[in-house]
C-alpha cells in the first residue's frame, strides 16, 4: 500500500467532515520517521543536563559541595538554587500571597524529587556521573502529606506566606441553600478522598535551550503543550520581555494529556543553565523523574451533602473541597479546582448551592494539568452521592439520575454557579445508552450472578463534559473586589492561519500543539470541504514558534478545545478567503459571486458546472496578477483569524462563571463482577454513551473515548502516586505505578448521539476528557453496588477490595497461615527479627560488635569504620538494593548497653540513592556448646530514590544484608552458621527473586 492512501473517484469528493479518512500523521510515525524532541538534532556543542533531586520531603539545605562534580570529566557547569535565583524571578504563584516558587530548591526542599542541582556536561552519561559527586547536607523537617492533616493546627508549615498551609479559602453561595436544606426531608452526605494519579505520557519532558548574549534572548525548544499563557510566566521568570523568549515546539509529541504543561519550570531551569554554561543545553527527563517530580492531578478531600426530597430530587448541594496542590502553587493552579466551578451541579437541575473551596499545600510534587482536569474529583463526589441517595431512599439509582436531569427543553441552560450548558438532550442520551448498551441484559446477569452468590454490581454515571475553557475562570479564586482591581479576565482566543502559495497549494497553521490527536488530518478535512479540494492537497503545520506565529494566551492543546474552537477557527479563516475567491471567480466566470461553488478541485458556476476553472489557478492569482483582480476583492494569500466566543464572560459579582464554552454529555453503565477470594474487579461490560455535538472524524472520536476510558480504568483500579508517611515517593517505576495493559483493559461499548453546539463554528464539542471524568466513579458505583459498600476509595486494588469483603470471609482454619504483621500505615517501613548462632562466647561476640576492625570485616560492602567514641561509629558502605547500588555514609550510635547481653543500635545512613534511619536491639544468649545465639529486631524507615524504585525489594534486601552480616560475624568468630531466621530470609528472598515469581 502506498503512503498516500488511494481513493476511489467517488470518495475523492466532500464533504470530508464526518468521515474517518486514514490519518496523514501515521505513515511517518509507523516507519520510525516521527520527529519527537529527542529525535531532532541539536547544534554542535550542545551540552546535556542531568538533575540532582531531593531525597527528602521537607528539609533545609545546609550545604551543597559541588567541587568534585565540577572537576569531573566533561562537566561544564554545576548549577544550584542561588545561581538560578540570581538570573531569574520567582515563578508566578496562582493566588495573591507573599510566596516564592523557584524551578530549583533555594535553601529548602519541599518534596521528594525537587531539583537541587543541575550538572551540565558533554554527554548525559558524564552528567549523571557527576551528580553522584555532589555532596548535599540536609537538615530534615517534619513533613505533611495528607491535605486534611496539613490544615490541622499543629501541622508543619511549608510556606510562611500560606498560614496553616492554606493558599486560598473561598466560600460561595448560589440561590438559597440554607432554606433548601432546612425544608428538605433528607440530608444525605458523603466523604470522599480522591487519590493522586497522572495520565503519564510515554514520552517524557524534553527541553533544549540556549541564550544569546548579543541578542539578550533565549531560544527554547520544548515539548510544551500550552496553554501559552504560561509563556508570560516563563518570560517573566527569565526577566525578559516575551519577544526575547522564543519558545518553539517539535513537530511530534509523545502524548501529554495535560501533563506536558508541567514542563515549564524546567524550561526556566534549563534556560538558566544554558545561560550559565554559555552553550545550548539539552535535557530529556527520565521516567523516575517523570513519575516522581513532573506533575500530577490533584488529590482532593471532599465532603458533599445534598438536600433531597422523598422522590430523590436534589434541592440543594453543599460542597466542601480541600484541594491538595502539592508543595508549590504553580501556574495555572489552583485551576484544577476552578475549572469545574460552573459545573458543580453536573447534569442536574439544582438551583441552590453552597461551596467552600480550600487550596492546600503539602510535601508532594506540585500539581498541574491532567486529562479530565478537576472533573474526576468533582464527579467522583457528585455521582457517588447520587448513588448513595438511591441506596438510602431505596430508589433505583438510574431513576435518581433521571429525576434530577436538566430537562431537554431547557437549553441553553444557566447552572446555579454560572455555566451556560449549550445543548443536549440528556434524558434521550440515557435512554439511547441503556437501550444500545443492553442494560436489561446486564440487570439479568446481575440477578443471575447474585442468585448464585456471586458479587456482581452495576454502576451508572451521568456527566457533563466541559470543553474550551474560559481563560477567566481561574479569577473566580479571587474575591469580586480583587477581580475589580486586577481587571477582567475572560475569553479563549483560538488562532488559525490559512495560506495559499503561488501554485495554489493550501497550507494551514493553527496555534494548537497536538500530542497524537490527529489535528493535521482533521484540519485537512475541514479546509478541503471549504475549498472543494482533497484533504491530501492541504498541508497542515501544528508546530508553534512564538517568534513567528500568530498565537495568544489560550493557544495550545488543553480543555479539549481543538474540535470545538481551533478546527472551527480554521474554517472561519478559510471561509474569509473563500468569500474573496468567489468575487474573483465571479469576474472570471461571468456569474454572480453567490453562484460560485467549489468542488472536485474546481471553482464553478452552480447553475452551469461546465463553466469552471481549476481551484489552484484561481487561488494563485493574488500572487501573479494582483493588479488585475476585481476592486475590493482583497488578497487571498494569507488569512489569520482570532476567534473568541462571546459566551465566555468574566465571573460576575455574584461569582457566577461560565467556566467552559461547550458541554458534552456522557452516560455510562458499568457491570462488574468481583472475585470474592482475590478481590479482583473484572469489568463485565462498560457502556459509554456520548453526545459531543457534531463529530468531525468518527474514528478519532472513538479513539479519544477508548483512550480516556483506559486512563479512567487505571485511575479506578490501579493507579496511585503513593507516598510514605514521611513523604517518601513510593511509585517511581512502571512496576510500582501500574498502568492498564492489553490483558486487563476491556473495550467499552460506545454509543453516540449528536446535538450540535450552537456556540461553535462546526457544532463540535470536546470529547477527549469525558471518560477520565465519568469512568472512575462509574466503576466505583458498580463496586459499591456489588459490595453494598458506602466508602469506596480509589484505586480499587484487590487488597482494598478484600479488606471491604473480609467480614464475609470464613474464619481461618486452626494452624493455617496467619496474616502478616501489619506495617506502620503509609510508610516504607521495614521491620524484622531473626537470630544467628555464632561459635564464640558472648563476651567475644560483644567485643567483636564493638570493634571497628571486626565491623569493617563483617558489614557487607563496608569500606571503613571510624570510631568516633566508644558508642559512636561512622562507616562507608556500598549496598545494592534491587536495581540500585550505591554508596552510603552510616552513623551508628549505641544505647542501653548491657555487656555482654544486649545493646540497642540507632543509626542513619544516607547517600546519593537515598537515606534510612532505624533502630535495632541485639541480644546475646549463651549456648550450651559455648557459642552464642545472637537475636535481633529492627525497625527502619527508608527514603529517597531507593524507596521510589526499589520499594518492592526492600524487605527482602534488608533480610539479605542482615543475614550476610551475621553470616560474616559467625565466620569471623570461627564457626557456626546463621540460624533459621536469617537464612530463611535470605533463601526466601532469593526464591522470590529467581524462583516462583517468574
708 or 842: whose CB is closer to other proteins? 708
Q: Three-state DSSP class for 678?
A: coil
Among 883, 930, 974, 995, binds other proteins (CB under 8 A): 883
End-to-end CA distance of the chain: give it in Å, rounded: 41
Does 699 participate in binding other proteins (rule CB under 8 A)? yes
Count of other CB atoms within 10 angstroms of residue 740: 19
Among 249, 711, 731, 757, binds other proteins (CB under 8 A): 711
Alpha helices in 339-486 (DSSP H): 375-393, 397-404, 426-436, 439-451, 480-486
Q: Are 332 and 559 in contact (CB under 8 A)?
A: no
Among 146, 219, 252, 383, binds other proteins (CB under 8 A): 252
Does 741 participate in binding other proteins (rule CB under 8 A)? yes
The DSSP code for 545 is B
- Give kind and range of the element (H or E) at residue 617: helix 615-624
Buried residues in 414-431 as b, exposed as e (16+ CB within 10 A): ebbbbbbbbbbbbbbbbb
Alpha helices in 798-868 (DSSP H): 798-805, 842-849, 852-858
Q: Are 293 and 53 in contact (CB under 8 A)?
A: yes
Of 939-958, which residues contact other proteins (CB under 8 A)?
949
The span from the CA of 908 to the CA of 890, in Å, is 6
Q: x/- contact string, 260-289, with other proteins (CB under 8 A)?
A: --------------------------xx--
User: Least distance from C-beta 260 to other proteins, angstroms?
Assistant: 11
Among 703, 832, 842, 911, binds other proteins (CB under 8 A): 703
220 or 700: whose CB is closer to other proteins? 700
120 or 314: whose CB is closer to other proteins? 120
- Give kind and range of the element (H or E) at residue 195: none
Does 250 participate in binding other proteins (rule CB under 8 A)? no
Nearest to 136 by CA among 91, 160, 104, 89: 104
Record the cell numbers describing residue 831, joined without a space.
Answer: 521491620
Does 43 participate in binding other proteins (rule CB under 8 A)? no
Q: Which stretch binds other proteins (CB under 8 A): 137-145, 630-638, 644-652, 740-748?
A: 740-748
Does 258 participate in binding other proteins (rule CB under 8 A)? no
Does 29 participate in binding other proteins (rule CB under 8 A)? yes
The DSSP code for 563 is I
Does 19 participate in binding other proteins (rule CB under 8 A)? no
Nearest to 691 by CA among 759, 763, 782: 763
Record the cell numbers describing residue 482, joined without a space.
Answer: 480583587
Q: Are 834 and 982 in contact (CB under 8 A)?
A: yes
Among 11, 15, 22, 486, binds other proteins (CB under 8 A): 22
Of 482-541, which residues contact other proteins (CB under 8 A)?
515-518
Does 770 participate in binding other proteins (rule CB under 8 A)? no
* Beta-bridge partner residues of 109: 59
Among 590, 743, 818, 869, binds other proteins (CB under 8 A): 743
Does 20 participate in binding other proteins (rule CB under 8 A)? yes
The span from the CA of 541 to the CA of 189, in Å, is 50
3 or 189: whose CB is closer to other proteins? 3
Among 3, 67, 803, 812, binds other proteins (CB under 8 A): 3
Backbone angles phi, psi at 679, to 5 degrees: 80, 10
Does 372 participate in binding other proteins (rule CB under 8 A)? no
Does 205 participate in binding other proteins (rule CB under 8 A)? no
* HEC sequence for 384-407: HHHHHHHHHHCCCHHHHHHHHECC
Does 826 participate in binding other proteins (rule CB under 8 A)? no
Among 454, 576, 623, 706, binds other proteins (CB under 8 A): 706
The span from the CA of 582 to the CA of 597, in Å, is 8
By the 10 Å C-beta count (0-12 exposed, 13-18 middle, 19+ buried), 711 is classed as: buried
Backbone angles phi, psi at 871, to 5 degrees: -120, 20
Nearest to 375 by CA among 338, 340, 420: 340
The DSSP code for 535 is G
Q: x/- contact string, 154-183, with other proteins (CB under 8 A)?
A: ------------------------------
Does 194 participate in binding other proteins (rule CB under 8 A)? no
Among 12, 39, 919, 992, binds other proteins (CB under 8 A): 39
Query: Total residues contacting other proteins (rule CB under 8 A)?
Result: 57
Does 255 participate in binding other proteins (rule CB under 8 A)? yes
Q: x/- contact string, 640-679, with other proteins (CB under 8 A)?
A: ----------------------------------------
Backbone angles phi, psi at 419, to 5 degrees: -70, 145
User: Least distance from C-beta 700 to other proteins, angstroms?
Assistant: 7
The DSSP code for 564 is I
Does 997 participate in binding other proteins (rule CB under 8 A)? no
Q: Are 206 and 283 in contact (CB under 8 A)?
A: yes
Q: Which stretch binds other proteins (CB under 8 A): 76-84, 334-342, 493-501, 735-743?
A: 735-743
Q: Which stretch binds other proteins (CB under 8 A): 34-42, 396-404, 625-633, 980-988?
A: 34-42
Does 878 participate in binding other proteins (rule CB under 8 A)? no
Does 38 participate in binding other proteins (rule CB under 8 A)? yes
Angle CA(492)–CA(496)–CA(497) in degrees, nearest 5?
150
Among 54, 168, 200, 774, binds other proteins (CB under 8 A): 200
Q: Which stretch binds other proteins (CB under 8 A): 78-86, 253-261, 623-631, 815-823?
A: 253-261
Among 13, 19, 26, 797, binds other proteins (CB under 8 A): 26
Does 763 participate in binding other proteins (rule CB under 8 A)? no
Give residue for cell 469489568. Answer: 683
Does 23 participate in binding other proteins (rule CB under 8 A)? yes
Strands (E), 455-574: 455-469, 494-500, 506-510, 538-541
Q: Three-state DSSP class for 299?
A: strand
User: Least distance from C-beta 223 to other proteins, angstroms?
Assistant: 10
Q: Which stretch binds other proteins (CB under 8 A): 6-14, 547-555, 739-747, 922-930?
A: 739-747
65 or 747: whose CB is closer to other proteins? 747
- Give kind and range of the element (H or E) at residue 980: helix 980-994
Does 557 participate in binding other proteins (rule CB under 8 A)? no
Of 51-90, which residues contact other proteins (CB under 8 A)?
none
Instruction: Determine how β-strand 245-248 pairs with β-strand 884-898.
Output: unpaired
Does 199 participate in binding other proteins (rule CB under 8 A)? yes
Count of other CB atoms within 10 angstroms of residue 744: 15
The span from the CA of 805 to the CA of 968, in Å, is 46
User: Least distance from C-beta 510 to other proteins, angstroms?
Assistant: 17
Alpha helices in 476-595 (DSSP H): 480-486, 519-531, 561, 567-589
Distances (CA, A) of 421 to 459, 658, 701, 761: 25, 9, 21, 17
204 or 694: whose CB is closer to other proteins? 204
User: Least distance from C-beta 953 to other proteins, angstroms?
Assistant: 13
Q: Which stretch binds other proteins (CB under 8 A): 137-145, 198-206, 265-273, 892-900?
A: 198-206
Does 739 participate in binding other proteins (rule CB under 8 A)? yes
User: Least distance from C-beta 514 to other proteins, angstroms?
Assistant: 8
Does 747 participate in binding other proteins (rule CB under 8 A)? yes
Residues making contact with other proteins (CB under 8 A): 1-3, 20, 22-23, 25-27, 29-34, 36, 38-39, 125, 199-204, 252-255, 257, 286-287, 515-518, 699-700, 702-703, 706-707, 709-711, 733-735, 739, 741-743, 745, 747-748, 883, 949
Amino acid at each position: 500500500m502506498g503512503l498516500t492512501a488511494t481513493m476511489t473517484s467517488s470518495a475523492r469528493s466532500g464533504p470530508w467532515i464526518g468521515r474517518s479518512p486514514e490519518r496523514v500523521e501515521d505513515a511517518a510515525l509507523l516507519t520510525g520517521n516521527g520527529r519527537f524532541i529527542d529525535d531532532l538534532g541539536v547544534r554542535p556543542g550542545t551540552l546535556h543536563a542531568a538533575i540532582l533531586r531531593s531525597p527528602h520531603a521537607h528539609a533545609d539545605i545546609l550545604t551543597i559541595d559541588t567541587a568534585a562534580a565540577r572537576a569531573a570529566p566533561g562537566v561544564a557547569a554545576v548549577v544550584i538554587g542561588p545561581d538560578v535565583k540570581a538570573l531569574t524571578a520567582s515563578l508566578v504563584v496562582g493566588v495573591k500571597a507573599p510566596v516564592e516558587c523557584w524551578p530549583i530548591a533555594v535553601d529548602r526542599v519541599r518534596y521528594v524529587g525537587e531539583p537541587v542541582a543541575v550538572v551540565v556536561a558533554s554527554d548525559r552519561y558524564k552528567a549523571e556521573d557527576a551528580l553522584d559527586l555532589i555532596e548535599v547536607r540536609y537538615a530534615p523537617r517534619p513533613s505533611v502529606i495528607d491535605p486534611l492533616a496539613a490544615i490541622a493546627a499543629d501541622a508543619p508549615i511549608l510556606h510562611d506566606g500560606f498560614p496553616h498551609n492554606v493558599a486560598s479559602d473561598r466560600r460561595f453561595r448560589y440561590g438559597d441553600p440554607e432554606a433548601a436544606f432546612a425544608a428538605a426531608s433528607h440530608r444525605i452526605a458523603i466523604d470522599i478522598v480522591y487519590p493522586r494519579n497522572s495520565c503519564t505520557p510515554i514520552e517524557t519532558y524534553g527541553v533544549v535551550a540556549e541564550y544569546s548574549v548579543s541578542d539578550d534572548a533565549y531560544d527554547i525548544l520544548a515539548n510544551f503543550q500550552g496553554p501559552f499563557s504560561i509563556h508570560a510566566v516563563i518570560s517573566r521568570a527569565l526577566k525578559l520581555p516575551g519577544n526575547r523568549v522564543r519558545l518553539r515546539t517539535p513537530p511530534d509529541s509523545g502524548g501529554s494529556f495535560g501533563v506536558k504543561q508541567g514542563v515549564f519550570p524546567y524550561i526556566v531551569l534549563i534556560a538558566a543553565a544554558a545561560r550559565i554554561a554559555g552553550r545550548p543545553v539539552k535535557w530529556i527527563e527520565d521516567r523516575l523523574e517523570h513519575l516522581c517530580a513532573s506533575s500530577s492531578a490533584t488529590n482532593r478531600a471532599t465532603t458533599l451533602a445534598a438536600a433531597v426530597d422523598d422522590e430523590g430530587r436534589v434541592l440543594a448541594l453543599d460542597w466542601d473541597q480541600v484541594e491538595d496542590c502539592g508543595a508549590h502553587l504553580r501556574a495555572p493552579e489552583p485551576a484544577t479546582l476552578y475549572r469545574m466551578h460552573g459545573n458543580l451541579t453536573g447534569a442536574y437541575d439544582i438551583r441552590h448551592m453552597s461551596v467552600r473551596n480550600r487550596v492546600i499545600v503539602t510535601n508532594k510534587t506540585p500539581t498541574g494539568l491532567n486529562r479530565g482536569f478537576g472533573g474526576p474529583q468533582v464527579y467522583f463526589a457528585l455521582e457517588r452521592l447520587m448513588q448513595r441517595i438511591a441506596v438510602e431512599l431505596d430508589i433505583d439509582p438510574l431513576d435518581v439520575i433521571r429525576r434530577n436531569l436538566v430537562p431537554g427543553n431547557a437549553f441553553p441552560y444557566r447552572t446555579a454557579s454560572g455555566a451556560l450548558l449549550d445543548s443536549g438532550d440528556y434524558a434521550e442520551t440515557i435512554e439511547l445508552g441503556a437501550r444500545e448498551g443492553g442494560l436489561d441484559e446486564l440487570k439479568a446477569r446481575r440477578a443471575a450472578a447474585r442468585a448464585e452468590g456471586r458479587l456482581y454490581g452495576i454502576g451508572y454515571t451521568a456527566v457533563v463534559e466541559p470543553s474550551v475553557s474560559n481563560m477567566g475562570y481561574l479569577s473566580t479564586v479571587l474575591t469580586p473586589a480583587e477581580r475589580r482591581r486586577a481587571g477582567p479576565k475572560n475569553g479563549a482566543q483560538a488562532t488559525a492561519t490559512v495560506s495559499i502559495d503561488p501554485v495554489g497549494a493550501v497550507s494551514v497553521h493553527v496555534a494548537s500543539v497536538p500530542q497524537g490527536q490527529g489535528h493535521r488530518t482533521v484540519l485537512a478535512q475541514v479546509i478541503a470541504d471549504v475549498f472543494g479540494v482533497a484533504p491530501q492537497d492541504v498541508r497542515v503545520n501544528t508546530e508553534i514558534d512564538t517568534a513567528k506565529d500568530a498565537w495568544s494566551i489560550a493557544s495550545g492543546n488543553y480543555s479539549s478545545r481543538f474540535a470545538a474552537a481551533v478546527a472551527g477557527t480554521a474554517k472561519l479563516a478559510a471561509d474569509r478567503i473563500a468569500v474573496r475567491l468567489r468575487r474573483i471567480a465571479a469576474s472570471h466566470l461571468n456569474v454572480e459571486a453567490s453562484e460560485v461553488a467549489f468542488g472536485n478541485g474546481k471553482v464553478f458556476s452552480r447553475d452551469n458546472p461546465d463553466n469552471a476553472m481549476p481551484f489552484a489557478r484561481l487561488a494563485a492569482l493574488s500572487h501573479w496578477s494582483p493588479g488585475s483582480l476585481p476592486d475590493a476583492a482583497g488578497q487571498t494569500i494569507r488569512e489569520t483569524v482570532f476567534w473568541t466566543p462571546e459566551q465566555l464572560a468574566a465571573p460576575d459579582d455574584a461569582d457566577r462563571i461560565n467556566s467552559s464554552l461547550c458541554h458534552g454529555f456522557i452516560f455510562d453503565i458499568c457491570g462488574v463482577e468481583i472475585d470474592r477470594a482475590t478481590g479482583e474487579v473484572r469489568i463485565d461490560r462498560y457502556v459509554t454513551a456520548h453526545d459531543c455535538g457534531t463529530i468531525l472524524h468518527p474514528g478519532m472520536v472513538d479513539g479519544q473515548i477508548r483512550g480516556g476510558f483506559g486512563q479512567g480504568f487505571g485511575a479506578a483500579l490501579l493507579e496511585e502516586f503513593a507516598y510514605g508517611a514521611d513523604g517518601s515517593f513510593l511509585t517511581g517505576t512502571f512496576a510500582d505505578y501500574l498502568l492498564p495493559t492489553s490483558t486487563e483493559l476491556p473495550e467499552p461499548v460506545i454509543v453516540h448521539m449528536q446535538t450540535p453546539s450552537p456556540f461553535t463554528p462546526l457544532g463540535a464539542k470536546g470529547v477527549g476528557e469525558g471518560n477520565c471524568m465519568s469512568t472512575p466513579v462509574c466503576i466505583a458505583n458498580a463496586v459499591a453496588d456489588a459490595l453494598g459498600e458506602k466508602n469506596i476509595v480509589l484505586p480499587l486494588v484487590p487488597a482494598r477490595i478484600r479488606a471491604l469483603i473480609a467480614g464475609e470471609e470464613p474464619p481461618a482454619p486452626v494452624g493455617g497461615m496467619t496474616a502478616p504483621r501489619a506495617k506502620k500505615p503509609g510508610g516504607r517501613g521495614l521491620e524484622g527479627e531473626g537470630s544467628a548462632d555464632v561459635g564464640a562466647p558472648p563476651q567475644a561476640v560483644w567485643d567483636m560488635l564493638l570493634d571497628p576492625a571486626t565491623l569493617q570485616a563483617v558489614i557487607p560492602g563496608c569500606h571503613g569504620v571510624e570510631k568516633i567514641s566508644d558508642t559512636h561509629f561512622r562507616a562507608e558502605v556500598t549496598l545494592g538494593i534491587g536495581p540500585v547500588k550505591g554508596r552510603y555514609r552510616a552513623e551508628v550510635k549505641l544505647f542501653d548497653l548491657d555487656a555482654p547481653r544486649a545493646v540497642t543500635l540507632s543509626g542513619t545512613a544516607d547517600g546519593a540513592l537515598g537515606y534510612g534511619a532505624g533502630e535495632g536491639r541485639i541480644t546475646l544468649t549463651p549456648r550450651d556448646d559455648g557459642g552464642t545465639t545472637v537475636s535481633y529486631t529492627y525497625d527502619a524507615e527508608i527514603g529517597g530514590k531507593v524507596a521510589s524504585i526499589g520499594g518492592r525489594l526492600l524487605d527482602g534486601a534488608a533480610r539479605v544484608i542482615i543475614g550476610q552480616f551475621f553470616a560474616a560475624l559467625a565466620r569471623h568468630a570461627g564457626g557456626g552458621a546463621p540460624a533459621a531466621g536469617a537464612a530463611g530470609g535470605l533463601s526466601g528472598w532469593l526464591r522470590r527473586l529467581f524462583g516462583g515469581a517468574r
